[in-house]
A and B are shown apart, each in its own frame.
Chain A
Amino acid sequence: MSDRTMEKSGRAQAQIFRRVNRDILATLQRPGVGWAAMMAVVLTVLGIGVIAEVYQIKVGLGVAGYEPPVMWAVYITDFVFWVGIAHSGTLISAILFLFRAQFRTAVYRISETMTVFAVMTAGLFPLIHLGRVWYFYYLVPYPNERLLWPNFRSPLVWDFFAISTYFTISSVFLYVGLIPDIAVARDRARTRFRRRLYSVLSLGWQGTDTQWRHYNRAYLFLAGLATPLVLSVHSVVSWDFAMAIVPGWHSTIFAPYFVAGAIFSGVAMVITLVVPLRRAFGLQDYIDEYHLDRLAKLLLLTSSIVFYAYLVEFWTAWYSGSDYERAVFWDRAFGQYAWAAWIMYSCNCIIPLALWFRRVRTSWFWMFIISIFVNLGMWFERFVIIIQSLAHEFEPFQWDYYTPTWVEMAITAGSFAWFLMWFLLFIKFLPSMAIAELKELLPPKLKRAKEEVEKA
């Protein structure tokens, strides 16, 4: 390569780098009316949720629709749903990082933030669901005057450890990834407040070779640690159910089944968030059909696993010869909660079959629609597993039918608002794409743009 072509190529790269900076930092511009309107809606819904929760604490958990034997209901459904959402983030950022899957670059930041906020949302529900939330600290192992410790045999204590570890590690992972990009924002900040903010948050990052060297190592190890963690967290969550003797819960398939389901729902949520975000911020050059196609394939893969797990559940129930298992699964498909089960089967197994078609996989519209259905389906999956199994347990005297109340619906809606509030704040204050990594591995469209500049 002659010096001249090299220089031309270098100039082209710099031009593209500048464009990356410009495009991504553009998302941080002063929020517009649309953003403010969305925020207003979100805060209102959140407010209603908070009121519902305060009312529930004051009056008692009975204001929710619990109907024994359904002692866990929508709150735990929400909990598992949000933990599930949290999973694809770390999967995309950590596992795909280790596998060097290039398409992750464009979407990993969004999915990581989604992870952190989803864990923050999920973490609320075990508390909301407690009968005496003001004694939640009984679950924390610390020396106390009662000389009592938590029971480490309880999957709920494992949950406490798993969720807090996961929250910590994924926050660390998100933050470490953000440091170089915050430095970019710092260097281009226009207002004093933002400059201050980003200076503090970037911790004085300069992108020197030494910093990058340790940074790369640490990032790799964090990815390495996060990978088993992401698998373990949803396994632990699944053990909340699998360790119980409830027919419909007590199953060895639960851990892999839950992990696959979590990734499934997480990828769907990524798509749900990315599609409007790309449009709103004009990031078409960064996220394109290539990414969508890859995400769709991941969705299809996990959908197939989930589908398989559903079928296996029925098969094991039949093959086990256990009357209780058989009764629960018969009831699941044809009983009082069949409506919920069939929503779940349609959304999670039937509708994603459309992803076998490339035209669907690369269609923004259809992918968005499918992702919404998958989200819905996965919420109902947890609803069915938790509520239907409990409603049809060993004791026929105690079979019953649960319906939620406004309090549960308000709190569920509030949890979405809580999640979206953080997400909206994030996209306006921190770079929602990995600038440094985008520069390193240009997305296809930018690569083509670079080549065009070089040719010119």
Chain B
Amino acid sequence: MSAELLERGVRGAFYTLEEAAHAVDVLEENGFAQSDITVFSPIPTAEVEEHFVRPRSPVRYMTLTGGILGCITGFALTYWTFFAWPHHVGGKPVSSFPVAVVIMFELTVLLGGLFSLAAVFIFSRIPALTMKPGYHPRFSEDLFGVFVHTSEEEGKRSASRVLDGLGALEVRDEPA
């Protein structure tokens, strides 16, 4: 573990997500705040989320906003153009709601999707120019990492003790 990294916290690695999640629980019991603990996972972490009491992801609101905005845009665009220069086609009325529905739907999905993407970017802090401390390439391979942010010596000791007690591995670069 590099000296630089040690300055910012303590890292432990586990074979399974369960172990990592268990470590989070134990660390919390030992007085570490959830906000100071980061879990690195090579797989989606649906289970881990249960161990954190964090606000529900705000992505949903972004998606909703995008969707509503798209819907309104679709309606406004079609109706504006109906009347901007009314042309009679096929003996049909100049304004036609069923037609607007198609455009409204498409724009709802389009803006909803784009807003969701933006939400991932914003809330997951990507694109990120710098890596978060505590990361190791094996966390994208086979190991689950638990990193405790703490700059105090005591905190570091305590965290190391807890992680060691749970059988955390020293992370080495193993050949894949």
Question: Nearest CB to that of A170 among chain B residues?
Answer: B113
17 contacts between A and B (CB under 8 A): A9-B16, A21-B141, A168-B113, A169-B109, A180-B44, A180-B140, A186-B140, A187-B140, A204-B130, A206-B40, A207-B41, A208-B39, A209-B40, A210-B123, A217-B119, A225-B113, A228-B109
Contact status B60-A439, CB under 8 Å? no
Interface membership of B69, Cβ < 8 A: no
Contact status A152-B141, CB under 8 Å? no
Question: Nearest CB to that of B52 among chain A residues?
Answer: A209
Partner of A214, one of B57, B84, B127: B57
A-contact bits for B163-174, CB 8 A (1 contact / 0 none): 000010000000
- Known A184-B140, A440-B44; judge A150-B123 contact (CB<8 A): no
Interface membership of A359, Cβ < 8 A: no
Partner of B139, one of A207, A213, A435: A207
Interface membership of A447, Cβ < 8 A: no
Bound Cα distance A158, B90 (Å): 17
Shortest distance from the beta carbon of A244 to any chain B beta carbon, whole Å? 12
Please indicate the chain B residues that have their CB under 8 angstroms from the CB of A356 in the complex: none
Please indicate the chain B residues that have their CB under 8 angstroms from the CB of A101 in the complex: none
Bound Cα distance A271, B73 (Å): 39
Partner of B176, one of A22, A148, A162, A217: A22
Contact status B81-A152, CB under 8 Å? yes
A-contact bits for B116-155, CB 8 A (1 contact / 0 none): 1101110111111111100101111111000000000000
Shortest distance from the beta carbon of B149 to any chain A beta carbon, whole Å? 12
Contact status B142-A165, CB under 8 Å? no
Contact status A188-B14, CB under 8 Å? no
Contact status A168-B110, CB under 8 Å? yes
Interface membership of A211, Cβ < 8 A: yes
Interface membership of A319, Cβ < 8 A: no
Contact status A15-B142, CB under 8 Å? yes
Bound Cα distance A254, B137 (Å): 51
Give residues 29-51 of B contacting A (CB, 8 Å).
Answer: 38-46, 48-49
Please indicate the chain A residues that have their CB under 8 angstroms from the CB of B89 in the complex: 151, 153
Contact status B140-A209, CB under 8 Å? no
Bound Cα distance A435, B41 (Å): 12
Query: Which are the 3 A-B pairs with shortest beta-carbon distances?
Result: A10-B15, A204-B128, A187-B137
Partner of A211, one of B67, B78, B126: B126
Residue numbers of B with Cβ under 8 A of A are: 14-16, 19, 38-46, 48-49, 52, 54, 57, 59-60, 63, 67, 77-78, 81-82, 84-85, 87, 89-90, 92, 96, 99-100, 102-103, 105-107, 109-110, 112-114, 116-117, 119-121, 123-132, 135, 137-143, 167, 176
Partner of B103, one of A7, A10, A158, A436: A158
Contact status B19-A10, CB under 8 Å? yes
Please indicate the chain B residues that have their CB under 8 angstroms from the CB of A236 in the complex: 102
Contact status A10-B14, CB under 8 Å? yes
Shortest distance from the beta carbon of B5 to any chain A beta carbon, whole Å? 14
Partner of A208, one of B81, B114, B132: B132
Bound Cα distance A11, B167 (Å): 13
Contact status A217-B142, CB under 8 Å? no
Bound Cα distance A425, B135 (Å): 30
Bound Cα distance A217, B62 (Å): 11
Bound Cα distance A135, B113 (Å): 29
Shortest distance from the beta carbon of B76 to any chain A beta carbon, whole Å? 11
Contact status B120-A215, CB under 8 Å? yes
Contact status A147-B84, CB under 8 Å? yes
Contact status B176-A213, CB under 8 Å? no
Give residues 161-179 of A contacting B (CB, 8 Å).
Answer: 161-162, 164-165, 168-169, 172-173, 176, 179
Please indicate the chain A residues that have their CB under 8 angstroms from the CB of B59 in the complex: 214, 217-218, 221
Please indicate the chain A residues that have their CB under 8 angstroms from the CB of B127 in the complex: 203-204
Please indicate the chain A residues that have their CB under 8 angstroms from the CB of B102 in the complex: 158, 161-162, 236
Contact status B126-A205, CB under 8 Å? yes
Bound Cα distance A221, B167 (Å): 37
